[in-house]
Amino acid sequence: MKDSLDHVMFAGGGETSLHPLMLVALIIGGILILALPRRYAVIPLLCLSIPIPMAQTLMVGSFHFQVYRIVILFAWTRILYEKSRLKSLWTWNPVDTAVLGYAVVCIVTYTLLWQQSAAFFGEVGKAYGIVGYYFAFRFFLRDRQDVDNVIKTYVWIAVFVAIVMINEQMTGHNALSMFGAPELSAVRDGYIRAQGPFSVYLTAGAFGATLIPLFLCLWRRGGSIKLALLGLTAGIVITLTCKTSTAISACLAVVIGLAMWGLRGRMKQVRWAIVSVLTAMHLVMKAPVWALLARVDIVGGSTGWHRFKIVDNFVHHFWDWFLLGSNNYWTWEGGDDMWDTANQYVATGETFGLLALILFIATIVYCFKYLGHARKASVGNRSQAWFFWLMGVALFANLIAFLGIDYFDQSQVYWYSLLAMIVAATLSRRTAIAPIASMARPESETEIPASQPDTDLHSIHFAVEGADRAGF
């Protein structure tokens, strides 16, 4: 019984399963990470992290080293080799603090909750991935051009994933089964739910849908329109072939986010309006407002009631989980499937407690804050303001996807790369400072060509509005 619990709760047990082709790719990719110029080292880092199934694992004692975790070692070897440059290049910010604090809190609370060595080592392994990837991306991504390189890399990764998922829809078999992915595709209500290299079709769909606004960032960048179209096509294909309401909901969130561009100057009022409407609905509805989740079934076969019930339990059992998380949430009202906390917010709180949830949300809040400041500082450069808006739309789409799934596989790599991209794009110091006088003109007065170098947004933010330098 203990071995079974360790395997389910703490990822205990297992054996090495590393295909020879993956071993060759890992060696070549590792060499490229070490040898390529810093700007391009992120390309093999991503290509070895996202498209490879999690089943490709090297066991070292009780630790699982999936390929994406092994890649971190190469990235950090590069970082430590260049550590003398870190002090002059690194700008610590509240997002960094929140991510690091989140990882530490998860280790502490989970270990105290379960009081088993397996729990400690399991969370150390997860924190290794979170901290390792986020700060690796923070090292490799330093300006807008670096962010563009990452987005272009995601185009080709999305194309690969889309091809694999189309093949799944046509054959019912996963072409990556030789690398440990399930051979037969999942089927629900007669629909094949393709998953490609991901551990489940839900994370696959969320990945494709939330990439769409990032690919739109390439639309106005010289020579990238064809690449943007390719990426948009791949993102839509991934969204449709996974056949999940979560992916479609994230895609609808993208549409809503794009439509709100015209109200960008009134977002404070929009946010308060949303809160007011939800509060009013909660007061007049017979069920709580989160019961609306039970009605979400866009493609058929969705488990909307389950999504509602885990949130309902989350609210009503607050005192059970707020301190350290809960070790019996699967026994709460709703049946045996309560163990499946298919909601990022619920999974974080129930597993690690309220402090971890606050830190997780803090990363999101600060990213939106930085994007808002950067967009406002882009007065006179509509193309640049649109770029920051699209980054915010991508972040918003992920928040909607979190209502249907928690990122537990290589989708975590994508999430932390997005956070690092936002920080890099908004706090860049490389480019020239625009005159303060030009920043005072209304956004509609001046249209700066997309080919003009980006403004040093961090410095502009200091000059125009002042920056929030307070720690988290």
Tens of pLDDT, residue by residue over 97-144, are: 999 999 999 999 999 999 998 899 889 989 999 999 999 999 999 888
Q: What is the dihedral of CA 240, 245, 246, 251, to 10 degrees?
A: 50
Q: Which of 75-84, 254-263, 363-372, 442-451 has the lowest mean pLDDT?
A: 442-451
Residue 439 has pLDDT above 70, yes or no: no
CB atoms within 10 A of CB 278: 13
- What's the pLDDT tens digit per position in 129-142? 999 999 999 999 98
The number of beta carbons lying within 10 Å of the beta carbon of residue 183 is: 12
pLDDT in the model for residue 48: 93
Q: Which amino acid is at 210?
A: T
At 203-212, the pLDDT tens digits run 999 999 999 9
pTM of the model: 0.85
Better-predicted residue by pLDDT, 15 or 331: 331
Contacts of 159 (CB under 8 A, 6+ apart): 230, 231, 234
Please state, in angstroms and rounded to a whole number, the distance separating the CA atoms of residues 10 and 469.
38
pLDDT at 447 exceeding the cut of 70:
no
Per-residue burial over 134-162, b if 16 or more Cβ lie within 10 Å, else e, is: bbbbbbbbbbbbbbbbbbbbbbbbbbbbb
Written as one letter, the residue type at 357 is L
Note the pLDDT tens digit of each residue in 273-289.
Answer: 988 998 898 888 888 88
What are the residues whose beta carbons fall under 8 Å from the beta carbon of 95, sequence distance 6 or more?
A: 363, 366, 367, 370, 419, 422, 423
Write the pLDDT tens digit of every residue in 287-316.
Answer: 888 777 777 766 666 677 778 888 888 999
